[in-house]
């Protein structure tokens, strides 16, 4: 069995998996990929020459694919959604401005993983910003850990990030039927590691803490996960594949202006 080579990302956020070709996958490779994903929360695999079929095949080796109704899919690959930024776009990038965990406002059947493939990449723009829930939890003061050990967050599709969703719906002609809300524990566990599940773009309230502390703790945690020491700004190249676990990593898009950028996204349970 060939052992994969790992290089941690900046601030120990995520890890690069080096020297692999995802056109040639086997069970051993997939198991090592999954182990690395569980340990680091997000993995970066540079410059893969994947067509849509190979991209989808790799995604299926990670879990069950999910259709994402707010994004357009490829004609022959409906699970592969197209994220396109055009030079004429003036609005915020989809998923921009607020760190978040995808679809935290779903009570059940939250997709676990999100994967992006760089198709057309503008030079010097369009980094994806990641924050490690593992690192953020580890560095909390003991008294805060104690206060939030049984806390639940209330997450809403009408949270601060909703302005980018509304812009996207205008473009696609799809309108959400209703506001979706869900409650989830603020502290999640992935293979023995505890992670902060805060999703600042969706979090509207924290329950199961002292009422006087609720709003204060919410604001504290949002500020905490946004600290530079827990952040890695990932610079894309064409063909890069990035896969993250929404239980342990938050992300957001950075600003893109006056250029074209195309990413292919797959959502996985």
Domains identified in the chain and CATH numbers: 5-268 (3.60.130.10)
Q: Is the pLDDT of residue 222 over 70?
A: yes
Q: 173-182, pLDDT tens digit by residue? A: 555 557 899 9
230, 103, 111: which is closest to 161 by C-alpha?
103
Average pLDDT value for the chain = 90
The 10 Å CB-count burial string (b at 16+, else e) for 210-235 is eeeeeeebbebbbebbbeeebbbebe
Q: Say what the pTM is.
A: 0.91
Which residue's structure tokens are 């080579």?
5
């Amino acid at each position: 069995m060939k052992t994969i080579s790992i290089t941690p990302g900046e601030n120990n956020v995520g890890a690069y998996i080096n020297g692999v070709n995802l056109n040639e996958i086997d069970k051993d490779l997939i198991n090592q990929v999954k182990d690395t994903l569980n340990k680091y929360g997000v993995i970066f695999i540079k410059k893969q020459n994947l067509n849509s079929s190979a991209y989808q095949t790799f995604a299926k080796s990670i879990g069950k694919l999910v259709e994402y109704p707010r994004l357009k899919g490829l004609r022959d690959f409906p699970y592969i959604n197209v994220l396109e930024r055009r030079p004429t776009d003036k609005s915020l990038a989809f998923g921009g401005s607020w760190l978040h965990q995808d679809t935290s406002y779903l009570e059940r059947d939250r997709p676990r993983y999100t994967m992006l493939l760089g198709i057309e990449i503008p030079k010097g723009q369009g980094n994806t910003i990641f924050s490690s829930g593992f690192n953020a939890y580890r560095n909390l003061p003991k008294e805060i850990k104690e206060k939030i050990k049984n806390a639940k967050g209330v997450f809403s599709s009408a949270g601060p990030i909703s302005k980018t969703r509304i812009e996207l719906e205008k473009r696609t002609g799809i309108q959400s039927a209703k506001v979706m809300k869900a409650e989830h524990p603020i502290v999640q566990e992935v293979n023995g590691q505890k992670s902060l599940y805060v999703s600042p773009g969706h979090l509207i309230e924290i329950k199961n803490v002292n009422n006087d502390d609720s709003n204060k703790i919410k604001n504290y945690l949002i500020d905490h996960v946004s600290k530079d020491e827990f952040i890695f700004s990932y610079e894309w190249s064409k063909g890069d594949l990035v896969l993250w676990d929404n239980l342990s990593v938050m992300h957001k898009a950075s600003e893109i202006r006056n250029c074209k950028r195309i990413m292919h996204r797959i959502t996985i349970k």
